[in-house]
Amino acid sequence: MNYDYLIVGAGLYGAVFAHEARKKGKSCLVIDKREHLGGNIYCEEIKGIQVHKYGAHILHTSNKKVWDYMNQFCEFNQYINSPVAMYKDELYNLPFNMNTFSKLWGIRTPAEAKKIIQSQIASLNIIEPKNLEEQALSLVGTDVYEKLIKGYTEKQWGRSCRDLPAFIIKRLPLRFTYDNNYFNDRYQGIPIGGYTKVIEKMLEGVDVQLNTDYLENRQELNKLSKNIIYTGMIDAYFDYKLGVLEYRSVRFETEELDTDNFQGNAVINYTEKEVPFTRIIEHKHFEFGNQPVTVISKEYPSEWSKGEEPYYPINNDKNNALYEEYRKLAQMESRIIFGGRLGEYKYYDMDKVIEAALLKAEEILV
Ligand code: FAD
């Protein structure tokens, strides 16, 4: 046994845990099947622009401990996420706020906006929403739903809002101030220099082996440590013996463009069904870049099948019940801890992943 811990996955969960373990004097080997560090927060530099290869990532949190923790590894810039929605050549500010309502209805005051929304909701007379469409209509009324929610959601899930369960949308926050800041959190920003550098810093002094799939080499790798932190897919660990947990996937089409500013904003959502992608990300705007060229990524949601990159867990009753069975199996594995978004089959924002990894480190590292 060469190491105190073998950590499977060089994503945020694995890197935070490894950093904490090293601080406590434990030796760690971090392995990843990919050719780079960082998991899904990995950024690749193209023409001086940090390109978020697995989807745009903005750190936002109200947890001061997490914010301070991350600030040890980098300085954050002042980026505030203020996405814009494009519906049939009409542009609307997001999240739904007074700028959105003013553009939709030509009104000025919160009282006018509330009156329109309430009258649209009342005219629908939905008592108990039977599906996502009815749920959304009963929360925001017809116009916001038709122009800004319906098409986007149907593209994201690959089916009609009438065939999606109501529980997917619990709340749809409406903001009656002229405030385009998407997140309500106290802290947000993008690491200056990119996320990959943050992970490199976390892993300073830790042994790392890339291009190494744990599941393909588990016999030899298990000999290296008696304690394993596993942040890969929980069902894959058990050879899918109880069934396959489902995900939604995304295909990214990234292009370099010979212009200094393509869309004037980091994130533009395309909310009509006819446009096949959901968003265009223009990466340089996350870091106020002034390069003469730009890089954009179009995001195409897609069905996921085994062997492809899993992005969003589909936490419906069927998958949650299956995960619960896997979790019970996992509890019987005395030397392995399952963590992170794939190990716990959970949509986890970065701050929650950091919190979870710190908590686990506190619990088990002595
Ligand atoms: P991962 O980053 O997936 O790391 C797991 C690592 O394990 C991977 O590198 C993988 O290659 C490796 N691995 C898996 N199996 C094996 C194996 N068998 N052998 C070896 N290695 C293996 N959060 C935010 O807070 N803000 C955002 O704006 C945001 N945007 C997002 C956008 C998208 C499209 C998605 C999908 C997520 C977004 N998130 C965002 C969430 C964020 O990506 C996660 O919180 C975070 O990346 C999870 O870290 P992790 O370590 O759990 O998982």
Q: Which of 20, 79, 92, 175 is catalytic?
A: 175
pLDDT of residue 351: 98
Is residue 278 within 8 Å of residue 287, measured between CB atoms?
A: no
Nearest 10 degrees: Cα torsion 324, 326, 328, 331: -130
Cβ-based neighbour number of residue 199 at 10 Å: 28
Q: Please report the ipTM that was assigned to this predicted complex.
A: 0.99
Question: What gap in Å lies between CA 185 and CA 358, rounded to an integer?
Answer: 20
Judged by DSSP in three states, 136 sits in helix
Collapsed DSSP state (helix, strand, coil) of residue 328: helix
Q: The tokens of 120 are what? A: 């649209």
* Cβ neighbour number for residue 288 with a 10 Å cutoff: 11
Amino acid at 213: D
**Nearest protein Cα to ligand 1, atom 29:** 57
Q: How many Cβ atoms are within 10 Å of 324's Cβ, its own excluded?
A: 10
Nearest to 190 by CA among 297, 52, 90: 52
Residue 282: which region, alpha, beta or left (left: phi > 0; alpha: psi -120 to 50)? Answer: beta
Task: Give the whole-angstrom CA distance, residue 18 versus residue 225.
Answer: 14
Other CB atoms within 10 A of residue 51 CB: 22
Q: pLDDT at position 169, please?
A: 87
| Res 170: pLDDT | 84
Active site annotation includes 175: yes
Atom 21 of ligand 1, nearest CA residue: 32
pLDDT digits (tens, 9 = 90+) for 245-301: 999 999 999 999 999 999 999 999 999 999 999 999 999 999 999 999 999 999 999
Residues with CB under 6 A from ligand 1: 8-14, 31-34, 39-41, 55-59, 213-215, 231-232, 250, 311-312, 340-342, 348-351, 353
Look up residue 299 and give its DSSP letter: E
Per-residue pLDDT at 77: 98
CA distances from residue 171 to 34, 58, 112, 141, 236 in whole angstroms, order as listed:
37, 21, 22, 13, 33
pLDDT in tens, 73-87: 999 999 999 999 999
**Angle at CA 345, nearest 5°, toward 79 and 214?**
100
Q: Is the dihedral of CA 303, 309, 311, 313 positive or negative?
A: positive
User: Which residue in 268, 113, 121 sits closest to 178, CA to CA?
Assistant: 113
Could you tell me where in the chain the CATH 3.40.50.720 domains are found?
5-77+186-240+314-364
In a 3-state reduction of DSSP, which class is residue 143? Answer: helix
Give the tens place of pLDDT for each residue, 191-227.
999 999 999 999 999 999 999 999 999 999 999 999 9
Q: Which of 338, 350, 354 to mutate to test the pocket of ligand 1 (most atoms within 8 A of CB)?
A: 350
Element spanning 336, H or E: strand 336-338
H helical segments located in the chain: 12-23, 64-71, 98-105, 110-124, 132-140, 142-144, 150-157, 195-202, 218-222, 234-237, 317-331, 340-343, 350-364
Q: What is the pLDDT of residue 315?
A: 86
pLDDT at residue 102 in the model: 98
As a whole number of angstroms, the distance between CA 304 and CA 195 comes to 26
Rounded CA separation 316/299 (Å): 23
Q: What is the mean pLDDT of residues 148-161?
A: 95
Name 114's Cβ contacts closer than 8 Å, sequence gap at least 6.
176
pLDDT tens digits, one per residue of 167-195:
888 888 899 999 999 999 999 999 999 99
How far is ligand 1, taken at its centre, from the CA of residue 182, in Å?
A: 22
Structure tokens at 105: 């209805």
CA distance 186 to 195: 20
Question: Nearest residue CA, atom 46 of ligand 1?
Answer: 350
Q: Does domain 5-77+186-240+314-364 have CATH number 1.20.1260.10?
A: no
- pLDDT for the residue numbered 157: 92
Closest ligand 1 atom, CA of 299?
A: 34
Task: Say what the pLDDT of residue 167 is.
Answer: 86
Rounded Cα distance, 65 and 83, in Å: 27
Task: Measure the CA–CA gap between 265 and 288, rounded to whole angstroms.
Answer: 10
